[in-house]
Structure 1
């Protein structure tokens, strides 16, 4: 595991802060307050960044905003990731067509650390739906990282030629990994390959039961209730396993609280380079129930966008592609 760098974190926090208010900028005092640092600590860094063109300082308002040097760096970064650049209009079009927040995740890794997905583009729907999914973008930023912990990332391992890839992915569950995890997940991955897209089912019910058990346990009057709830919770965890979080088959007449629908974009070597995702739930709303037919329609739409992006960027599906 790499060692943390506080100075680097401060720099990135500063850039993130100013990127969220591009027009107005922020004063030295506002930056220091937002980052929880003293003005004496942040001032030398901001002076250096201004001299290098990373920041611009307004001569009268004394506010700072991002400078032209970052524009040049951003253009170089875009040229270095042509698939991500090509994904931007696709993601925005998908958001407009579905009415959901849609994302382009970049499949990336850090040496010595688990693989993660990075948010490369965010598409916002014109009018967020009342049922959820439309306000997810408020809690997401470009560059946010998501660990590939099952069921997240199934589209990244479903087509892998590496026989150990699924095992390494399941190992990220840590102590939560069931003894029969591979047996549970195998039909689900078969379903992902057969459809060409994944549907991750909302697990917030289990999380809410977990929190309720904790709250009852902290109240001495609820100790007995908490013990009973934990026994029930154990049954829920056994009944609602990996196969339920990542259904192998989507029944058209069934009802599903799908949180995310994902499809892979392949590069020229047949590896997943980008994941397109439609977000059906958010921090403020649980995933609304959808019929299986509605889920399939959404999945096919995301998969079609991903397939079009693969073709447009000269990618090709892997040998195990079965659509």
Structure 2
């Protein structure tokens, strides 16, 4: 379903799905037949391509009622766009991933974000979640990013402490650097001889993504300023973020963060 939900106009045929999801043909056929029978997907008789089906409309119609926090987050992001004149988003945790579930932008913005994109919940991503997570989850998050680098592990713990004390996360990574880090985080099936190199690169990207001096450099644009929305029990519901995507002074960062935190206080 996630594959067929990807943005774009690509047509997904049986062979494409088998190859993309690395399924054997028998398994893929059984899954696709069941989904088609239930109306979750359809298959064009002429092109043989699969697409999302009408049964999803029934589910979509209930989302705002079934997931009220999603509606609250989306409306908060829209208000932040007006307040900050910057794109804003909602990020939720889904197991081992972070999912962008809403993205709003000013009318004149050219920034495009793939909604429902999955990002691994591993350093340097997810600081706004990990800084307010429980100790066990924080240790696991640090371990995924630091590998065997004890110094980096200590720095990651410091970053979480600094972030929670500040009240919000500042992500200065450029889109290109973030994309490269994401690709490395998703690599799994690599030769044993290459694994140490991949692990080292992941550590380097993680170190770069938490550079404490980067936010004071004029040449380093601020990608995201984000903070979590907590429930009455202190549990994270989602993260609300703004995306300046430009160099910012310390004063500009603080002013933008103040608008973000004001909105979070409003909806918490």
Calculate the TM-score normalised by the size of structure 1.
0.58
Q: Is the 8 A contact 1:189 1:248 kept in 2?
A: no
- Inter-CA distance 189–249: structure 2 relative to 1 (3 Å threshold): farther
Alignment of 1:250-269 (within 5 A): 255=218, 256-269=220-233
Change (3 A) 1:206 1:155: closer
Structure 2: 5+ residue stretches without partners: 20-24, 181-200
Query: How many angstroms apart in 2 are the aligned matches of 1:303 and 1:116?
Result: 24
Q: CA deviation at 1:44?
A: 9.4
Distance 2:158 2:166 in 1: 12
Task: Note if 1:245 corresponds to 2:235.
Answer: no
SS in 2 for 1:122: strand
Out of 65, 74, 78, the residue aligned to residue 88 of structure 1 is 74
Distance 1:155 1:266, change over 3 A: same
Shift of 1:102: 2.1
Q: State the aligned residue count.
A: 238
Q: How does 1:193-232 map to 2 (within 5 A)?
A: 193-202=164-173
Structure of greater Rg:
1
Structure 1 partner of 2:22:
none
Q: Distance in 1 between matches of 2:103 and 2:206?
A: 30
Q: Does the 8 Å contact 1:202/1:257 carry over to 2?
A: yes
- 1:119-268 map, 5 Å: 119-128=100-109, 134-135=111-112, 137=113, 140-142=114-116, 144-160=117-133, 162-175=134-147, 178-202=149-173, 242=207, 245=210, 247=212, 255=218, 256-268=220-232
Shift of the alpha carbon at 1:116? 1.9
Q: Distance in 2 between matches of 1:75 and 1:272?
A: 25
Distance 2:179 2:103 in 1: 27
Q: Unpaired segments of 5 or more residues in structure 1? A: 1-10, 110-114, 209-233, 282-287, 311-323
Of the candidates 238, 242, 256, which is equivalent to residue 274 of structure 1? 238
Match of 2:263 in 1: 305
CA contact (8 A) 1:107 1:272 kept: no
Taking only aligned residues, the RMSD between alpha carbons, in angstroms, comes to: 4.2
CA contact (8 A) 2:123 2:206 kept: no
Give the distance between the partners of 1:157 and 1:44, measured in 2 at CA: 39
CA distance, structure 2, for counterparts of residue 33 and residue 47 of structure 1: 11
Q: Secondary structure at the match of 1:301?
A: helix
